[in-house]
Structure 1
Amino acid sequence: MDKNYTAVLFDLDGTIMDSGPGIMKSVQYALDHFDRPNEPEETLRKFVGPSLMDSFTHLYGMSEEDATRAVELYREVYPTKGIFDATPYKGIEEVFRTLQAEGRKLVLVTSKPHIFAERILEHFGFTSYFCYQTGPELDDHDSRKARLIRKAMDALKFEKTECVMVGDRMFDIDGAVEAGIDSIGVTYGYGDRAELQNAGATYIVDSPKEILSILQQE
């Protein structure tokens, strides 16, 4: 590989953290108020990654008004009961340590509201690894990854060729493609290999350790 990625952009949910348990329980709490109790886990898993507004709208056909209310209900419980119901993926901190020691810049690019992402990184002791974090504000439902990637690149003066996006869902890969940067799709999160391939991932790996293998082939 003849690339030299000096900036590594990481998604949060499904890439750094298995955040599914807390997210899915909070989504179910919201759905209970719409007479949708005991939703299948297969459906709830689809909420891990994309914006809540998009998920409630596309998965349940909610109107904008109902989706907004569902997000409000979700946020009644997530900040206190769901936010730390998550587990870092095995080996991910070693990836951070190694990349930081190599002099690379680590950036968090997440569709999760920034205020929640910041708390999660701090709680699990990951804040110091990241030189920059970006995510939407609570009242900003435009969580397109390309917009957030460009925001980080502009803030840090990165060139496209310096950057690679690491994520587990097609939304991460789509964002990278739209922003004109390479991507590493990870299959250990909430997307699968076919989803990542179809989205156009530059590389696909099955474990955090393999992220290093890709980057150290330079």
Structure 2
Amino acid sequence: MTYSCILLDLDGTILDSAPGIIKTLEFTLERIGRPIPGPAELLKWVGPPIMDSFRDLAGLNPAESEHALAVYREKYLDDGAYDATLFPGMPSIIRDIHRHEIPLSLATSKPELPATLMLEHFDLARHFTVITGASEDETRSAKADVVAEALIRLDRLGVDISNPVMVGDREHDIAGAAANGVPTIAVEWGYGSPVEYVGAVALANTPAELWMLLFAQEIEEEEERAVAN
């Protein structure tokens, strides 16, 4: 059955945004007087909600996390958000989703403002039915809450949400989607590790494989209709 709608993660799925995030984290931790882990450790911050990482990975209390978030956001919006590159093949997939008229929502734990700016920067925002991310105050940042909000927004637009699929690279994507009854296709080119793919309904090693997983049934149905006609 063709997916009725698709939810796409951003960091590690559409964009290699780690360079900008890591540089901004280094700036933030230095500014607030905290030790700066190496790049491999900071890569663990890419994907999960940042307030969780301030708490779990930096050991900050709520007040310290709020201060760190303010420092991070100012720097990230200034230049960090644009220190990113598209994963080859992903723009074509996004354009094909739009061409096949499959409703598409972003589903990222990044706040919606920088997420939207990044998609606009790469001329991809216009292909999305809705852009869903964390709320400005971070009260909606857990992936389960983001996925739920994406489905609500699509449903309000009259989109059929009976057979959705999530595409992401981290365990947070898989668990957050599963909390809403949504299956996930995990992608290997992002920031996750094999242990994080447990629970995914499929694994795409390359964007070409993801394309086949998303469109094989659609193409088969088109071919059957062409033969019938």
TM tier, smaller: over 0.9
Give the residue type in structure 1 aligned to 2:209.
E
1:79 is matched with 77
Residue in 2 aligned with 1:68?
66
Aligned residue in 1 for 2:180: 179
Structure 1 spans left out of the alignment, 5+ residues? none
Of all paired residues, the percent bearing the same amino acid is 38
CA distance in structure 1 between the partners assigned to 2:72 and 2:197 by the alignment? 28
2:216 aligns to what?
A: 217
Larger CA deviation: 12-21 vs 65-74: 65-74
What letter corresponds to residue 14 of structure 2 in structure 1?
A: I
Mapping for residues 105-116 of structure 1, pairs under 5 Å = 105-116=103-114
Give me the whole-angstrom Cα distance separating, in 2, the residues matched to 1:108 and 1:32: 31
**TM-score, length basis structure 1:** 0.93
| CA displacement, residues 29-72 of structure 1 (integer Å, 9 cap, x when unaligned) | 11113434542111110111111110010012111111111111
Aligned length: 214
2:164 maps to which residue? 163
Structure 2 portions without partners, runs of 5+: 218-229
Structure 1 segments (4+ residues) deviating >3 Å: 34-38, 158-161
| Partner AA of 1:154 in structure 2 | I
Does the CA contact (< 8 Å) of 2:21 and 2:76 recur in 1? Answer: yes
Matches of 1:90 and 1:141, distance apart in 2: 33
Task: Kindly indicate whether the alpha-carbon contact (under 8 Å) linking 1:193 and 1:204 is maintained by their aligned counterparts in 2.
Answer: no
TM superposition shift of 1:18: 0.5
- How far apart, CA to CA, are the structure 2 residues paired with 1:38 and 1:58? 15
Report the RMSD for the aligned CA atoms in angstroms: 1.5
Deviations 1:119-153 (A, max 9, x none): 11111100111011111222124311122212221
Name the counterpart of 2:222.
none
- Give me the whole-angstrom Cα distance separating, in 2, the residues matched to 1:135 and 1:216: 25
Q: Which residue of 1 aligns with 2:51?
A: 53
Q: For the Cα contact (< 8 Å) 1:23–1:48, is it kept in 2?
A: yes
Q: Which residue of 1 aligns with 2:24?
A: 26
Contact kept in structure 2, 1:53 and 1:141, CA below 8 Å: no
Q: How many angstroms apart in 2 are the aligned matches of 1:135 and 1:33?
A: 26
SS in 1 for 2:106: strand
Q: Aligned AA for 1:59?
A: L
| Amino acid in structure 1 at the alignment position of 2:214 | L
Do the aligned residues in 2 keep the contact of 1:167 with 1:185 (CA within 8 Å)?
Answer: yes
In the alignment, the residues of structure 2 paired with residue 92 and residue 69 of structure 1 have an alpha-carbon distance, to the nearest angstrom, of: 35
Question: Is 1:206 paired with 2:196?
Answer: no
SS of 2:185's partner is: strand
Q: CA deviation at 1:23?
A: 0.5
